[in-house]
Amino acid sequence: MVRIAVIVVATLLALAGDLGGQYHPATRDTISLGRPSRAAPYFFRNLPYGSDANFGPLDVLLNKGYAISQTETGDRRLFGYPYGAGSVADALAHPVAAIERAGGWWDFTRKELLPLSYRVEDVKWWTNYTGHLIEGGIQWRRLREWYRSRGWPWAGFFAGVTTMSAAVLNEMYEHPSSTTGSAGTVADLYVFDLAGIALFSSGSVSRFFAETLGANVWTGQASITLPHGELENNANYLYFKLPWGPTRGSSVFLWTGIGAQVGLTFHRARDIDVSVAIGNDAKRMRVDPLTGEESADLTMSAAMFIDRRGSLLASVHLSEVQHRLVKVNVYPRVLPFLGDFGAWLVVSHDFEFSVGLSNSHWLGAGLGISP
């Protein structure tokens, strides 16, 4: 499998100059590259290829709402899953009780709200800031830009409905069969998800993250697979391309989500970026049945991403997570013979293969086949 992974990576690197077969240089002229306005499209530029072409409301619901289904302990069924609607309702209706069950206000503050504890089991604030505040805020802004590009009125409202629906779905998925609210749900839905929308309502904040920090969100080509109606190939990558001193031809690359990796981005001709990184994945998730507190076991992982102007063209992800040893994605309108379709392949440690397709007209949802 290591040899297969090396061959896949080498092939994609060789194709990097040709990926995006339907790209035309004139596309650059249709999108302002100068100083953007307060309402400029910072995170969704409506590019006709790659992850931009695959983006839509279903993309956010499936990738964000089912984020932890990527772990070995995740139940990837979409239908018949025991969603914890009662747990979310209890947390929203009785937030103080949920906080007291988790150890009281001091524990809630140092674990969930502020970076006051650095023990591995206590750094829930890290995922709150990265996953709910920044990633959630960027996704809201990105969706607002997507709705506006299609002429929707009240684009910010509909973007808010979509992102908050994904956030609620995420909490329901994380607490199956539970009717007891958790402090984490209180922090996520009442504090960080709403704060993210408020924060990225600012054009100055959005410009800073997009231009200075090189931040955006890439998502997997999430697909409903036959014959069991399971979700495969979903992922959420909040990434940064941070400029650094040694060379203008590269940047420090960092992504975080269900795991985190660090590496380098190499800036190539024709606006192509190739990013390579190594780090960890969440292998197993555990939820305390009394308090609803979550913890994770981590394992090694590595990845490579090829994008053009921030729109992801192709990616390879290697992981020790049982059901996704190798994951390969090529996005819509990248390879000419695929046309509007994107394609993906996932190989497990047991050498079981899952495959699927996405389409630029399917609003971010794909179809596939898995064992």
In single-letter form, the type of residue at position 262 comes to: V
Structure tokens at 114: 């502020």
**Residue 282, pLDDT score:** 85
Lowest-confidence pick of 85-89, 176-180, 185-189, 196-200 = 176-180
Query: Residue 138 — very low, low, confident or very high, per pLDDT cuts 50/70/90?
Result: very high
Give the Cα-Cα-Cα angle 90, 95, 67 (nearest 5 degrees): 70
Contact between 146 and 364 under an 8 Å Cβ cutoff? The reply is no
> Does residue 249 have a pLDDT over 60?
yes
pTM of the model: 0.88
Pick from 116, 326, 90, 78: nearest CA to 189: 90
pLDDT tens digits for range 251-274? 999 999 888 999 999 999 989 999
Residue 185 has pLDDT above 80, yes or no: yes
Q: How confident is the model at residue 122 (pLDDT cuts 50, 70, 90)?
A: confident
Tokens of 191: 């504090």
Across 336-345, b (16+ Cβ under 10 Å) vs e yields eebebbbbbb
Locus of tokens 């908050």: 164
Q: What is the mean pLDDT of residues 187-203?
A: 96
> Is-contact 279 301, C-beta < 8 A?
yes
Phi/psi at 366 (5° precision): -120, 180
Let me know: does 99 contact 91? Beta carbons within 8 Å.
no
Q: Taking residues 322-348, what's their average pLDDT?
A: 95
Question: Of 288, 64, 291, whose CA–CA distance to 166 is shortest?
Answer: 64
Q: According to the model, what pLDDT value does residue 288 have? A: 67
Under a CB-based contact definition with an 8 Å cutoff, are residues 326 and 341 in contact? no
**Arithmetic mean of pLDDT, 279-295:** 73
Query: pLDDT at position 3, please?
Result: 53
Tokens representing 181 are 């609210």
pLDDT given at position 290: 62
Is residue 118 predicted with pLDDT exceeding 80? no
CB 203 within 8 A of CB 39: yes
State yes or no: pLDDT of 1 exceeds 90.
no
- For all residues of the chain together, what is the average pLDDT? 87
Q: What is the pLDDT of residues 45-65, one digit of tens each?
A: 999 999 999 999 999 999 999
pLDDT at 70 over 60: yes
**Whole-angstrom Cα distance, residue 263 to residue 302?**
9
Name the 3-class secondary structure at 301. strand
**Model confidence over 168-184: pLDDT tens digits?**
999 999 999 999 999 99
pLDDT tens, position by position, 4-41: 544 555 555 545 444 544 433 333 333 333 334 455 78
**How much of the chain exceeds pLDDT 90, in percent?**
73
Question: CA 52 to CA 20: how far, in whole Å?
Answer: 12
Say how far apart CA 200 and CA 66 lie, in whole Å: 23
- pLDDT for the residue numbered 27: 33
Q: Decide if pLDDT at 312 tops 60.
A: yes
| pLDDT range class, residue 248, cuts 50, 70, 90 | confident
pLDDT computed for residue 28 by the predictor: 32
> In this structure, are residues 96 and 105 in contact, taking their beta carbons and an 8 Å threshold?
no
d(CA 14, CA 245): 27
Tokens 């749900």 locate to: 185
What does the alpha-carbon distance between residue 133 and residue 131 come to, in Å, rounded to a whole number?
6
| pLDDT number for residue 29 | 30
The answer to whether the CB of 125 falls within 8 A of the CB of 247 is no
Question: Between vectors from CA 60 to CA 243 and to CA 44, what angle results, nearest 5°?
Answer: 45
Say what the pLDDT of residue 117 is: 80
pLDDT value of position 37: 46
Question: Structure tokens of 343?
Answer: 């394609």
In the numeric block, which tokens belong to residue 146? 């997507």
Average of pLDDT values for 79-97?
95
Section 273-280 average pLDDT = 96
Residue 337 has pLDDT above 60, yes or no: yes
Q: Where are the domains of the chain?
A: 2-10+51-369
Q: Among 44, 49, 51, 13, which residue's Cα sits nearest to residue 220?
A: 51
Which uninterrupted H or E stretch holds 266? strand 259-267
Tokens of residue 313, six digits: 């063209």
Structure confidence at residue 283 (pLDDT): 84
Average pLDDT over residues 115-122: 76
